Each structure stands twice: as C-alpha cells, then as structure tokens.
Amino acid sequence: MTAAPFLALLLSPILAAAGALVLPPRWRAASVLHAGLGLISLLAALRFVALVLDGWTPTWGATVLFRVDALSALLAACVAFVAALAALLGPRLGPDDHYTPAQVRRFRVFSSLFAFTMLVAVTANNVGVMWIAIEATTIASAVIVPLTVTKASVEASWKYILIGSVGIALAFVGTVLGYFDFVTLVGQREYALNWTVLLANAPVLHPPVIQLAFVFILIGYGTKAGLAPMHTWLPDAHSEAPSALSAMMSGVLLAVALYAIVRWKAVVTAAVGHQFPNRLLIGLGLLSLAIAALSLVIQRQYKRLLAYSSIEHTGLMCLGLALGPLGVFASMLHLVNHTLAKSMMFFASGRILDRYGSPEIGRVSGLLRVMPWTGGLFAAGMIALLGLPPFGMFLSKFALVRAGFADGKGWLMAAVLALLAVAFVSLLAHLNRMLYGPAPAGIRRGESGGWAVVPLVACATMLVVLGIAVPAPITELLDRIVEIAGR
Amino acid sequence: MSPELVSQLSVGGSTLVLLAGLAMLWRRGVRAHIGAFTAQSVALAATTAMVGWFTGDWQLWAVAALLLLIKGVGIPILLARMARRFGTERELEPYVNTATSLLVGGLLVLLAYLVTAPLVSVSQLPTRTGMPLAMGLVFVSLFVIISRKKALTQVLGFLMLENAVALLAVLGTHGIPIIVEIGVFLDVALGFIVMQVFVYQIHETFESIDVEQLNRLRE
Amino acid sequence: MRALFLLLIAGYVSGAAAALALGTGALSRWASALGAIVGASAGLALAAGACIRGAAFSLDAPGFFGPVGGMAFTLDPLGAVFLALTSLVAAPSALYGAGYARLWEGRPALRQVGFMLNVFLLTMSLVPLAGGTLTFLLVWEGMSLSSYFLVMTESDQPEVVSAGQWYLAMTQIGLACLLGSFLLLQSGGPGGFSALRAAALTLPPGTRDAVFALALIGFGSKAGLIPLHVWLPRAHPAAPSHVSALMSGAMIKMGIYGLLRVSLDLLGGGPAWWGGLVLALGAVSALLGVLYALMEHDLKSLLAYHSVENIGLITMGVGAGLLFGSLQMPAAATLALVAALYHTVNHAVFKGLLFLGAGAVLHATGMRDMNRLGGLIRGMPWTAALFLVGSAAISGLPPLNGFVSEWLLFQSLLPGIGAPSPLVAVLMVLSLGMLALTAGLCAACFVKAFGITFLAIPRSPEAAAAHEASWSMRAGMVVLAVACLVLSIGAFEIVPRLSSFVAPLVGVAGSAPSLSVGLALQTPGGFARMSPVLVAAGLALVVLTAWLAVKAFASRRPVRVGETWGCGRVVQTPRMEYTATAFAEPLRRIFAAVYRPSEDVSIDFHPDSRYFVQSISYHSAIVPWFERYLYAPVISRVRSWSERVLALQSGSAHAYLTYLVLALVLLLGWLVVTGQP
Amino acid sequence: MSPWLLGPVQAAMALLLAPGLVGAIRWMKARLQNRSGAPPWQPYLELRKLFAKEVVVSNNASWLFRAAPFIVFGSTVAVTLLVPLLAVPLPFDGAGDLLVVVYLLLLGTFFLALAGLDPGSPFGGMGASREMTVAALAEPTMALAIFALAWSAGSTNLGHIAARMLATPSEALAPGHVLAFAAIFIVTLAETGRLPVDNPATHLELTMIHEAMVLEYSGRYLALIEWAAALKLLVFFTLLGNLFAPWGIAAALTPGALLWAALTLALKLLALGGVVALVETHIAKLRLFRVPELLSASFILALLAVTASFLLR
C-alpha cells in the first residue's frame, strides 16, 4: 500500500525528464505528457496529505529511507503544485514564445529533475540523503538558469552555483558533525542518519557538538534559503532565470531549504533547549528582513523586486520559527501563502516581460489598461505579498506579530513592524507606478495566450480562500506540524 | 594495528592533506594547483584505506578506491584539459599576496583547533586527533575560494572543500553509511561537470575566466 | 437585529455582484446603486435599533481562522452612532453616484467603481460592528484598500498616481501602528474586545502609554490629524466626487471612532497628558486646516483641507473629554464627547453635501479651478442653493446643524477654564481662541468658495454653459440638505441620547447628565441654554414679517435691471472680478508667517514701448511645511540607508563569498567565546 | 404688560432708536469738527426716502442679491430679541445666549459679503474680502471676552449676566470686567465699521469696507441694509452698556420702571455715541494691514480678562 504514492510522486518527474529527452518538443503530445506527469505527481502529493490527515505516516525504502509526516506532506504538496504549474506554463513553442526547441527540451528535462530532487529532499527520512537531494537541486537548477545565454545570465548562474555549492558543503560539515556526535554515543548504526533516530536520541547528545553542528547547518541551508548575509546570489539568479524557473526557485526551493532548517531545529531543540536555536534564528531572520526591506526602497527592476521580497518573507518565516508554537503555525501558513503568491507573481512578471520587453519598472506603466487580466493578477499577487486583508498573508502576518507579543518580544516586533512598513510602502510605490499611469505608445493591448491565465487565476482564488477562511484540512495539517517542530 | 599507530598515521595523513591545501595558497600557477589537488586526493584515499584496514570495514576500501579513481585520476585529467584550453597564465595578482595568505591560512588552522576542541574531547576513536586538521582544511579551502580570481582556481577550492569534509567524515565517524557516501560522490562529480560547463561558458562570453569581470549585476 | 446585519451584508454584496455581472450599461449603474442603498438602509435600521431600542447585538465565530483568531461582531451605542453616520452618508452618495457614473458608461472603469464602492461601503459599515482585534483590523484594511482603488479610478493623470502613492504609504504606516497597538494590548490573550478591556486593567502604565500613542498615530493618520494629514488633500480631489463625499464624510470618522474605542472604551481613560496631547493636536489641525484651505483655489482640495479642519474640531472635543475624564470632571467630559460625536455626525452630512455639490460642478463644467468658474447660479440654481446650505452649515451659521455642534464645542471647552491645574486652564483658553479663529476663517473661506464659484459673471465659456445636474444627483444632495436642518431642529432629542451613550465611557455611573430641557439644550449645571428650534423659528418669523412689511409699505414700482457700477466705464468684463486668490490675499498677507508665500510676477511689455504691457503672469506658492520639513527628510534618510545596504550587492562574487565566510567565522567565534555549557 | 410682550416691544424700541443713534453720532462728530452738520433725525428722513425710491438691480445679480437684505435685517432684529434692552427677566433668554448673538451677527455679515460679490464688481469683491477678514479676526476676541464675562457671571445667557451684575454691582469694576469691556469696545469699532478700521462717511472705493459691499444696493433694499447696520451699532452699544453697567434696567415690568429703564438706556447710548464721536474725530483710518495689530491688541485684552477672571477667583 505504502509504495504506490511514493512511486507516483517520485517517478513521474523522472519519467517526465526521460519523456522530454526522447520526444521532440515540437510535438503536441510531448507537452501534454509533460503536463500530465506533473499533475500525477501533484495528485500523489495530495494523496500523501490525505494519508497524513488520517493519522498515517507512510514510510518506504530499505532502512526507512523515505518517511512522510505532516511537514513533508505540506512541502511535497507545495513543490508538486509549483512543479505542475511550471510544467504547464513553462517555456513552450507557442506563437509568442521565443524559445528554440533545444532550449525547451533542456528546460523540461532539468526542471523535472529539479522537481524530483526537491521531492526527494522533502520526503527523505535520512538526513544525509536530504543533503544530497538539496545539493542536487542546486546543480539541476543551475544548468537552466542561463537558458538564454547572455552576459548577465552567465554571471548569475556562476555566482549561484559557486555560492550554493560552498554553502551546501558547510551544511554537509554540520551533518557530519551531527552524525559524529551520534556515533561517539551509540556506535555505528546503519540507519543512524535517519531523522527519527536522531530526534529520539537527541536528549543524550553532547550540547557543544550539536551547537557547532547547528551553526554549520544554519549557515549552509541558510545560503540555500536566501537568509542574509548569504542571500547575495538570490536577486541575480531569480531575475536572470526564465520566469518559470524563478517561480520554482523563489516559490519552493527557499521553502525546501527552510524545511531542512526546521528538521534540524527540532533535533537541536530536543538536545539543547529552544533558547540557543531561537536566538540564532531571530538574529538571521531580522538581518534578512532588514537588508531585504531596505533594498526594496530603490529598485529598478520588478523581477529583482520580487527576489528581494522573497528574501524578506523567508526572513519573516525564519523569525516566526523562533516565536513558540503560534509562531511556527504562522510561519508555516506564511510559507504556503508565499509559495502560492510568489510563483503566481513570477509567472505574471514573465508575461509582462514578454509584452513590455524590458525588466525596468520605469518602462512599465498603465499595466491595467494594456493587459487587464495579467495586471489584475500582478496587483492581486503584490497585495497578497503585502499581507493586505482579502489574502492569506494578512492572517499569517497578524498571527506572527501576535506570537511575538505573546512571547514578550515587544521591541523585536516593533522593529519587525517598522521594517515591514518600509518594505510595503516601497513595494506599493513601485506597484502603483506600474499599474496606473498612461500606457506607453505602441504596446499591443489585450491578453495573449488566453488559457495560460486560468491557472494563475486559480492561484489567486486559492489565496483569497486562504485569506477569507483557512480551510479545515490546512489548519489540521499545520497543527500537526506545530507538534513536530513547535515544541 | 594498535590504536596509537592508527592515530599517528591518521594525523600524518591529514597533515599531508592540509599541506596540499596550503600549497594552493603558496603557488601561483594553475598547473601547480592541479598537482597539489591530485596529491591531496591521493593522500585522502590512503588515509581512508588505512582507516578501512584498521576497522576491517570493506565499505571504506570501496570508498578509498572510488576516491582514488574519481578525485585522484578523473577530475585532474579534466582539469588539465581545461588548463590547456584557457592557457596556463599565472594568477597575476590575487586579492591577497602570498605572505599574508599563508599567515591567514595559519590563523585559520588555529581557529579550527579552537572550534574542534569539544569534538576531540568527546570522541574516543583513535583517529580523532586528525579532526582539527580536517576542519583547518575546510577553512583554508574557503579562504582559497575567496582570495583567488580565476574561476578555475575557485573550482579547485570547492573540490578541496569536498575533500576536507570527506576527511572529517572518515576521521570522525569511520565512514558514513554507503548510500550517503555514493550520493556525495555523485553530487561532487556532477557539481564539477556543471562548473566545468560554466567555466567554458564564461570563457566564451567574457573571453577570460577572470571572475573580476562578473560584476554587471549590482544593486 | 441579526436579520438586519445579514441584510446589510447581502445588500452590499449583491450591489458589488451586480456591478461586476451586469456589464457597463445603465442597468449596472442602477443595480449597484440599489444594492448600496439597501445595504445603507439596513445599516441605518440596525444602528437605530441599537441606539433607540438599545437592543444588543453580537455574533462571533471564535475558531474561524483556527489558532490565528476568530471573527466577532458586536454593536454597542458608540458603534451604532458611527454606523448610522456611515449609512446616512452612504445612501445619498450611492444615489448621486448612479447619476455621476454616466461618465464611465461603456468603459471597464464603471465595473470597477461599482464593485469597489460596494466593497468600500461594506467594510466601512463593518468597522464599528467589529468586536475583535482580528476582525477590526481585517475590515479596517479592507476599507483602506477599497478606497485606494476608488481613488485610482481616473488614473491617467500623474497627480492621481502620486496621490495614490501617498495614500497607500500612510495607510501602511497606520496599519503597522494599529497592529502594534492592538497586539501590545492583547499581549497573547484572546482577541475579543471584552478580553482586551480586562487585559487593559493589568497592563503596566508604560505599556498603556505605548498602546495609546500607537493608536493615536494609527487612527490619526486615517482621520487626517495635522502631522499625518498629507494624503487627505491629495487623495480626496483625485477620487470621484461621491467617493470623496464618503471618504470625507464617513471614512475619516472611523479614525475618530477608533481613537474613542481604544482610549476610552478599551483602556478606560488614562493620565491627563493623553487628553492634553489630543486637544493640542486637534486645535493645531483645525487652525492649520482652515489656513491651508483659504489658500486653495481648487474646489475639491479646499473641501479636503476643511475636512482636516473639522476633524481638528472633533479631536478637540475628544481631547477635552479625555482631559476632563482624567481630572475627574465626568459631567464636563460627557458634554465634550457629546459635542465631538454630534459634530462628527453633522460634518458627515454637510461635508458630504458640499462634495456632492462640487461633483455636480465638476460634472457640469469639467473644471475644479475656482478662478475659471463663476456665475454657475444661473445655470445650476438647485446645485447653487444646496451648496449654499452646505456652506452655511459648515460655517456654523445659526439655523443649521454646524452652529449647534460648534456651540456645544464652545460650551464644552468652557469648564476647562475652571480646571484645578493652571496648565490645563491656559491650554483651554488657547484652544478656545483657536477654535473661535477657526470658526471665523471658515466662514470667510466659504464666502470665497460659494461666492467665487457660483455668483457674479462666469469666467470661462464652460462655466457660462453649465447645465443643471441630473435628478438623481440633486436628489442625493436634497436628502443631505434636509438632514442638515433636521439635525439642527432635532438637537434637543439627539443630544441627550448621545450623552446616554457616552456617559458610561467616562465613568458616569447611573443616569447620564440630561443635556436638554424642553426644546433647549442645557449644559451641565445650567451654565448655558440655547434652543436651536426657537432660534430657527424666531429667525424665520422675523425675516417673514420684514418681507411682508416691506411688501406692504414700500413703493410698488417695478425693479429696474441696470448695469453694475464700474466708475463710468461701459463694459463689465469677467476679468475685472475678484478671483479666489485675490479674495484670500489679505489673509495671506496677515498670516504670512505661517504661509511664507513666494510670489513671482513676470511682465512682458509691448515691443514698441515700455509703458504698455502685453501680458502679466503672476504665480505664488506657499511653503508646504510638513512635506518639506517632516516627510522629505525621513524619505531621504530611508533612501540613503537603502543605498548603503544596496552597496552590499556590489556584483563581485568574492565579496559575496566573504560575507558568507565572515558570518560563519563570527558565529563560530561567538560559540567559542560564550563557551556554551 | 405680560413678559411675552416685552420681546416685541424691545425690538420695536430698538428699531426706532437705531437711526436716531447714528444720526446723533454724526451730529456730534459734526459739532466737534465745528460744522453745523445734518440734524440727528436725518437718518429717519433718508430711510423714508429710500423706501419710496425705485430699486435698480445689476444684470449679473441672482436671487441671492434680493434675498440678502431681508436675511441681514432679520438676523439683526432677531438679536434684539435676545439682548436685555429694558427689563431683565428676558422672555427669550432660554432661546439663545451671547454666543448665539455673535453667530447671528456673523450670519448677517456672511450674506452681506455674498451679496457684495454677486454683482461682480471689483469693489463688492474687495469689500467682501476685507469684511470677512476683519470679522474672522474679531471672532477670537469676542469668544474670550464672552467667556470672561460668563465665567464671573456664572452663565453665558444675557439675562443671567445682567441679573448677576444688578445683584452685585461691585463685580462691574473687577479688572476682568474692565478688560473685557475694552476688548468688546474695540471689536465694536471693527464690526460696525467705525473709524479706525473703516470710515463710515467715505465713498472712496479703495478705502471703504462696509460701504463697498452695499455699493450696488438701491431703494428699499438699501434702506433695509442701512437700518440693519444702525441696529447692529445699537445692539453693540446696548451690550456694552447693559452688561457692563446694568444700573437702571427694570427688574419688574411696571410702566414706571420700564420708562426709567428706557431713559437710562437712551442716556447710555448717547454717552457711548459721544465717546465714539470723540474717538473718530481724533484718529485717522488705519491701513488695512495694520488692523490685525489692533485686533490682536483686543485679543490680548480679552485673554487677560479671562485669566484675570479665573486667577483672582
């Protein structure tokens, strides 16, 4: 029983990659197959969510290699959703897409591999395998960052692969130290690197070693999550990559890295108590919030704007993790909202880039007149990112600040609110300039690729549903996660 | 093999590995760097074999062989081809001149000793004495990546970092589970290949592999 | 009561749906207006139920958002007054809007305005109904957001875009302060208002002051108190007129409602400096608001600055109430708060009327600049008469409601002179003087506004060709004009009811001081009595007898129409008339210290001789104090920080890697140094 | 005589006395400047003439131009119902207090200024602008003076103030009272357009304020406005006289007391008229932009009056 969903979840991206390699991208069947496999993996992820909600924690593999609990199910669903979106809306050979068949093939192969590595990272029980999968995500995504080779995209991809790999290597040092501490206590065991075993033996581990390991883990996975001061690769990579890829990277890759940090935080909290990890998380979270918020004030390109907003939201989530159970609930809800909103925004910005031809904010004006639907979605996404009412982020921002005050960190919350105000005022200023004002002469009006807007509208409605009334299954899932990570 | 002998041998092996890393800081030419890396990989393979022999664990032998094959032979060949391709011009003036970089390398090793003090006190394995040196190599390789301008040298720095971690793993835990070991090798190999592709691309678009020119994306 | 609440929501939601679904024709205009009117009347009935019958109403779903918080709606008399006020302005504005929207027929803007107007009215009506922190902030932010989209309907002019920017920036800062204030007050407990009241008792004084200060900034930015008013004179003129009427009439009042709710209801009053600060802010807002209004010659921004002025007057009432509350003078506190509440309702009515009138002028002539209007009374008799009623009401002239609430404000400040501490007495005397000066200047400003716009000779062809507004626009205005008179005549009934709502807030146990005797209003302790009914009746009677007497005794020779006296010249051209700038010139010279006017006159002479002038161009501007000396430095400071932070992203991979290694080394160093156990 | 009849009687008496008061001041000014001057009853003749004359209205003017005189006249007459001319227990005391008086006068000024703007002549605009500026600047002084008076008298209703003054005559000489008297005197000169602020005798377009607004009126409308202006002067003098020196006001409504009250009122009016005539012969008209200095002086006086009243309590 338990093998089927795993196979569906993990194998479909592999098949999609193989299919894309074999079938010529010009065929209609190829893109339909690609999209279909993406949907299958999404259905598998949703199946996992259902299983977890029924109280199961499905496991698979020899030494309990794969294990899906509430946290993994949530992340798997997010990854599969964004991967399906990318498969559906990624570069294809439509009339107004300017990609060559070779590029499309390369994109499809490596984006499916990218999805596969993320799914493995999220479902692996073995901490070592999780590290390998996350390292593999860097490699898979780095290949397609320079899909169209320009000086800027080459530069962005080099920095991405270099900083990413160095960061991840440090995370491996942390993993090794964690395992070292376990071996000195219990001796070598085959399943030693399993997260469940580590968690069980955590109270016995030596505090100084675990603290050292957590520092390396935080710096390593923090680089992948885009936490300051290791965030520098993120704006370049996300603004130069094709928008489908940057949607996947900004939407879910950061979340997967954060997932790794949450896993290790649970172990370290069990070993050393929550005071040490929380202090580190708050420090890094506040730093990234500050740097991102201040960088948003003077921004000339809207894709970089979205990248910096990702850094800011990741910082907020990282901060939330350190504010007790309600904080973890808020940051996980924030994670779901951010994934939806950010991926929608990057797809919409891709369409804007195709139409206006320039990434500069100054050159895009009168968006609501030129492309009413995309403009509307772009506005809706931006307002969602600002945490304004009809959308879900208002609830998670409110819960986060409430958790902060409940935890007695009044001054910290004051700083957070001030930084959020600065960030949001500058985001709104840019949005205002793009949406309204006279439309530039000679721009073709009206929507192009009509049906492509439908999934984005679906994203927007999901965001509104999350905003008006958080559906019961999600609250149930998040409560389960709080039990795992929120002690 | 008595535990004392093993600890001496492991210290000796890791010292060799660390010295190869410091050689990277000392020498300027790319060819010299590749030579240093090869020597380092061989020393690492030897240490792993020694530990494998001491614990009688066949997996470590397999790992040593894999190390020797990939990092000792495969990657240096590719590196040499790249060196020939991009001309062996010397690293003209790295950010930090040789004297200060060696000094910094020494300081980093001292920092490594400070940091790994709790590790050594906790572990009972004979090979624990080599761990500070492995951690030292981690910091030295990070410093190499920062201070060298050529993209090729930065790739070498990354590979040295991987070697350092592998050494730390062997000394600290007598070998991590085989699945993870294979996965790590796969990652390192794929990572190297992708970096190689990028170095070629950089050379194509920028006509040189000097990372200094990659400063177009600011703010 | 619950049925009315659901009807309110259903009305607005159906209006919004109609606007979206029924295309961009006349049907959609009327359907969305009808939905809004149904919602507004339901709101009015709900408020009346709560005010008159005192029927309590509460509806809450605690677990609505899971552990984040729940939704809760309650309606107490204080909220009912503001709900009534919103609905009272909403119905005529919606009716007026239906006529005004013919401008956008056939364009997508009609669908957007119809939808957003209903959402705006729904969220604004729910603000006084909110019973928990999360609900309050949810509908509060919904109100700000929907009003932003309404302001941006005609978004092709650049100043509308910048108006939107200012408006959004201020709402975000306001929201941040409100979030801080409410959650500091809640500090982890449950979110319902009753729980907050209990929590407030145990808060240390420092936190209470912080909660009050943040609430003052948050609500002050929405109300438009002086340092935070900059968005108001930019956003209101940019919005369509019936939206500006709603924003000026009802939305900025929600700031006052919030301030009352937090400072009096939740925190239960505080130290004397709270009231003093609010009173001072109110007085400064009133005076500077009217001074800036005098210098405006754009009709709608003049009305916007007057909103700042009237909010100043209301805040003075609130401040006096807070101050007297803290000095244990409950009767005086009740009077002050009643004066503030009553002026809130009156202002909503006459400011709504004035904005609708300005909208009719804009609709007819397409212009808002008074220096190019004039003589509209001939083409638009109804609008002119209704605008006159509005101007008389806002200037506080006797028969109308503005006079009654200004009289109450004067009487409420008076007991302050007898206050125990001299500092309070001096503050009261100064605010009395500023209140009187504001009243005088307001009358002068509206003589200018009405006289220059409607009377004398039209100054441009469009003004000459002005046509009367459509019946629905006039109907909206007539309703508000009648309300002005009814609110004045009915004062003896309304004021005691208001005092019964407000008294419990200020700690008056038992029955509230009855503020009316028979048909007259009476201040506590019988200090002063005035009956608006008798004043109005006496005035009408005397004017009538005078008219009849003159008709009977004076000569019956017919009135002859002649030329206006122009010292013997034959032709009377519009260029000889006084313009708005000229009318306000004496006051600009007198208050030069505040304005620091800069004038540049450029004369180009006739080519042939220096003694003949071809054209003179005169341009004068006054110093925008707050934008230049408060907001500009803050913005430039933030931008400089941003430049410094962006320098981090220098482009060099080595620098990026150095940051990473530095972070690692620092953390390791911290770990080694602190030597965790 | 029943108390309710007192109101209309006082109004009628005020209407009769007003033109006479203006005539008397003009006559006294002429005598002081050793001119023979027109007889004091000259204004009555002017009113009769104007009511008979034909009305000429500007072609630019609207219905407001015709309605304004009635509103101005009506509001001023309404004020006389509230002011204690003869007897103290005023019938309409509950209807309005000193603030209502100020606002009714403001109503008159408001509509007069609008009427000035209506015909579209520059003089009307100039007059309206200056009149409203002066009225606005006079407001704070009136408010503070009223509250100085009210604070010591315990109520702002005129009947109470006068009754209180009657009961405790020593209050009249209290410093707060004297300062309030001086402040209101200056405001009277400003509001009724007497010399230092505005020259009632001139018709020179550039200097007149009140006259400029009524330049376009003729016939019965001009009569009403002139009468209202005279009535306003009388109201201010009565306020000054009866509130600050209430001796002679009838306490009971017996014919004897009322006669005596009327006599003392006439005496007070003439005295105040004499003071005004004296002032006007000695000082010249202030430039318009010096008027705020005068009004701020009166504001300081009122401020001192208020502080005196509650400091020395």
Count of all residues that appear for chain D in the document: 313
Shortest CA gap B40–chain A (Å): 18
Q: Are D95 and C534 within 8 A, CB to CB? A: yes
Chain D residues near residue C572 by CB distance under 8 angstroms: 60, 120-121
Enter the DSSP assignment of D166. H
pLDDT in tens, C431-460: 999 999 999 999 999 999 999 999 988 989
Sorted by sequence, the CB contacts under 8 Å of residue A386 that are 6+ apart come out as A393, A424, A427, A428, C172
> Which range (A394-398, A482-486, D65-69) has the least confidence?
A482-486
Q: Are C188 and A422 within 8 A, CB to CB? A: no
- Residue D238: give the domain boundaries: 3-311
Residue C677: the pLDDT is 47
Enter the DSSP assignment of C529. E
Q: Give the other-Cβ count within 10 Å of D262's Cβ.
A: 18
Nearest residue on chain C to B138, alpha-carbon basis: C661
Q: Burial, A314: exposed, middle or buried (Cβ in 10 Å; 0-12, 13-18, 19+)?
A: buried
Residue C568: the pLDDT is 74
Q: Are A233 and C138 within 8 A, CB to CB? A: no
Chain C residues near residue D309 by CB distance under 8 angstroms: 417
Question: Could you tell me if D81 lies within 8 Å of chain C, comparing CB atoms?
Answer: yes
CA C639 to each of CA C592, C634, C646, C647: distance values in angstroms, whole numbers, following the listed order: 33, 9, 10, 12
Shortest CA gap C42–chain A (Å): 23
Alpha carbons A328 and A274: distance in angstroms, whole number: 13
First to last CA, chain D: 39
Alpha carbons A458 and A464: distance in angstroms, whole number: 10
Chain C residues near residue A337 by CB distance under 8 angstroms: none
Alpha carbons D265 and D270: distance in angstroms, whole number: 9
Q: Are B191 and A151 within 8 A, CB to CB? A: no
Residue A471: the pLDDT is 86
Neighbours of chain D (3+ CB pairs under 8 A): C
b/e for C587-608, b at 16 or more Cβ within 10 A?
bbebbeebbeeeeeeeeeeeee
What residue type is D216 in one-letter code?
E
Alpha helix locations (H) across A274-301?
275-297
Question: Could you tell me if B101 lies within 8 Å of chain C, comparing CB atoms?
Answer: no
The angle subtended at Cα D169 by Cα D166 and Cα D175, nearest 5°, is: 125
Residue A427 token pair: 């985001």
Shortest CA gap A341–chain B (Å): 24
Residue from B143, B146, B148, B165 whose CB has the most chain C CBs within 10 Å, to mutate: B146
Residue C219: the pLDDT is 95
- pLDDT of C564 > 90? The answer is no
Closest-CA residue to A247 (of A168, A405, A353, A164): A353
Q: Are C657 and A280 within 8 A, CB to CB? A: no
Enter the DSSP assignment of D242. I
Q: Are B219 and C646 within 8 A, CB to CB? A: yes
Chain C residues near residue D68 by CB distance under 8 angstroms: none
For C507-631, strand residue ranges (E) read 516-517, 520-522, 529-530, 560-562, 598-605, 613-621
Residue from D15, D53, D121 whose CB has the most chain C CBs within 10 Å, to mutate: D121
Per DSSP, the residues of C153-191 read SSTTSHHHHHHHHHHHHHHHHHHHHHHHHHHHHHTTS--
Residue C565: the pLDDT is 79
Residue from A232, A370, A483 whose CB has the most chain C CBs within 10 Å, to mutate: A232
Looking only at the bridges linking them, the beta strands covering D56-58 and C560-562 are: parallel
Rg of chain B in Å (alpha carbons): 18
Q: Are C652 and B212 within 8 A, CB to CB? A: yes
Question: Could you tell me if C635 lies within 8 Å of chain A, comparing CB atoms?
Answer: no
Q: Where are the domains of chain A?
A: 274-487
Alpha carbons C300 and C361: distance in angstroms, whole number: 10
- pLDDT of A300 > 50? The answer is yes
pLDDT band at A97; cut points 50, 70, 90:
low
Question: Could you tell me if C2 lies within 8 Å of chain A, comparing CB atoms?
Answer: no
Question: Could you tell me if D9 lies within 8 Å of chain C, comparing CB atoms?
Answer: no
Q: What is the pTM of this model?
A: 0.89
* Element housing C556 (H / E): none
Residue C86: the pLDDT is 92
Alpha carbons B191 and B197: distance in angstroms, whole number: 10
- pLDDT of A447 > 80? The answer is no
Residue D17 token pair: 């006395």
pLDDT band at C520; cut points 50, 70, 90:
confident
Residues A402/C69, Cβ–Cβ less than 8 Å: yes
Q: Are A65 and B174 within 8 A, CB to CB? A: no
Neighbours of chain B (3+ CB pairs under 8 A): A, C
Shortest CA gap A479–chain B (Å): 32
pLDDT average, residue stretch D195-213 = 81
pLDDT in tens, C152-180: 887 777 888 888 889 988 988 999 999 99
The angle subtended at Cα A140 by Cα A139 and Cα A146, nearest 5°, is: 90
Give the position of tokens 């890393």.
Answer: B21
Count of all residues that appear for chain A in the document: 487
For C230-378, strand residue ranges (E) read none
Question: Could you tell me if C559 lies within 8 Å of chain A, comparing CB atoms?
Answer: no
Alpha carbons D120 and C279: distance in angstroms, whole number: 41
Shortest CA gap B163–chain A (Å): 10
Question: Could you tell me if B158 lies within 8 Å of chain C, comparing CB atoms?
Answer: no
- pLDDT of D267 > 50? The answer is yes
Alpha carbons C445 and C289: distance in angstroms, whole number: 11
**Given CA atoms C130, C132, C133, C138 in this order, what sign does their dihedral have?**
negative
First to last CA, chain C: 63
Residue B219 placed within a domain: no
Q: Are B115 and C646 within 8 A, CB to CB? A: no
Enter the DSSP assignment of C145. H
Residue B195 placed within a domain: yes
Query: Mean pLDDT for chain C?
Result: 88
pLDDT in tens, B58-112: 888 989 999 999 999 999 999 888 888 876 566 566 777 888 888 999 999 999 9
For A169-305, strand residue ranges (E) read none
pLDDT in tens, C355-385: 999 999 998 998 889 989 988 998 899 999 9
Residue from A388, A413, A482 whose CB has the most chain C CBs within 10 Å, to mutate: A388
Neighbours of chain A (3+ CB pairs under 8 A): B, C
Task: Rank B175-179, C632-636, D86-90 by mean pLDDT and report only the highest.
Answer: C632-636
Residue from D156, D158, D294, D300 whose CB has the most chain C CBs within 10 Å, to mutate: D156
Residue C439 token pair: 């009243």
Question: Could you tell me if B7 lies within 8 Å of chain C, comparing CB atoms?
Answer: no
Chain A residues near residue B217 by CB distance under 8 angstroms: 152, 155-156, 235-236, 239-240
Domain count, chain B: 1
- Residue B41: give the domain boundaries: 3-213
- pLDDT of D148 > 70? The answer is yes
Alpha carbons B163 and B64: distance in angstroms, whole number: 12
Q: Are C440 and D135 within 8 A, CB to CB? A: yes
pLDDT in tens, C478-508: 999 999 999 998 888 888 888 888 887 777 7
Residue B92: the pLDDT is 60
Residue C424: the pLDDT is 87
Alpha helix locations (H) across chain D?
3-32, 42-52, 63-82, 98-117, 122-153, 158-167, 175-191, 210-213, 219-238, 244, 255-282, 291-311
Residues D131/D194, Cβ–Cβ less than 8 Å: no
Give the bridge partners for A479, in sequence order. none
Residue C624 token pair: 């925008």
Give the position of tokens 């006496």.
Answer: C538
Shortest CA gap B206–chain A (Å): 7
Sort residue A486 into left (φ over 0), alpha (ψ -120 to 50) or beta: alpha
Q: Are A398 and C646 within 8 A, CB to CB? A: no
Nearest residue on chain D to C441, alpha-carbon basis: D136
Mean pLDDT by 10 residues, chain B (219 residues): 84 91 85 91 92 86 90 91 75 75 90 87 83 92 89 90 92 84 88 89 83 80
The angle subtended at Cα C616 by Cα C612 and Cα C617, nearest 5°, is: 170
- pLDDT of C643 > 70? The answer is yes
Q: Do chains A and D touch (3 or more CB pairs under 8 A)?
A: no
Question: Could you tell me if C388 lies within 8 Å of chain D, comparing CB atoms?
Answer: yes
- pLDDT of A431 > 70? The answer is yes
Shortest CA gap D281–chain C (Å): 27
Looking only at the bridges linking them, the beta strands covering C520-522 and C529-530 are: antiparallel
pLDDT average, residue stretch A402-428 = 90
Interface of C with A in 164-183 (CB under 8 A): 164-165, 168-169, 172-173, 175-177, 179-180, 183
Neighbours of chain C (3+ CB pairs under 8 A): A, B, D
- pLDDT of D269 > 90? The answer is yes
Residue D16 token pair: 């009769």
Alpha carbons B191 and B169: distance in angstroms, whole number: 20
Whole-number percent of chain C with pLDDT over 90: 42
**Given CA atoms A81, A85, A87, A90 in this order, what sign does their dihedral have?**
negative
Sorted by sequence, the CB contacts under 8 Å of residue B188 that are 6+ apart come out as B70, B71, B159, B162
Q: Burial, C219: exposed, middle or buried (Cβ in 10 Å; 0-12, 13-18, 19+)?
A: buried
Closest-CA residue to C69 (of D270, A442, A470): A470
Residues B149/B91, Cβ–Cβ less than 8 Å: yes
Residues C293/C311, Cβ–Cβ less than 8 Å: no
Closest-CA residue to D121 (of A169, C97, C575, A60): C575
Question: Could you tell me if B104 lies within 8 Å of chain C, comparing CB atoms?
Answer: no
Q: Are D307 and C440 within 8 A, CB to CB? A: no
Alpha carbons C187 and D104: distance in angstroms, whole number: 53
Chain C residues near residue A432 by CB distance under 8 angstroms: 161, 164-165, 168
Q: Are A208 and B118 within 8 A, CB to CB? A: yes
Enter the DSSP assignment of C455. S
Domain count, chain D: 1
DSSP 3-state of A436:
coil
Shortest CA gap A156–chain B (Å): 8
DSSP 3-state of B148:
coil
Q: Are C392 and D77 within 8 A, CB to CB? A: no
Residues B161/B145, Cβ–Cβ less than 8 Å: yes
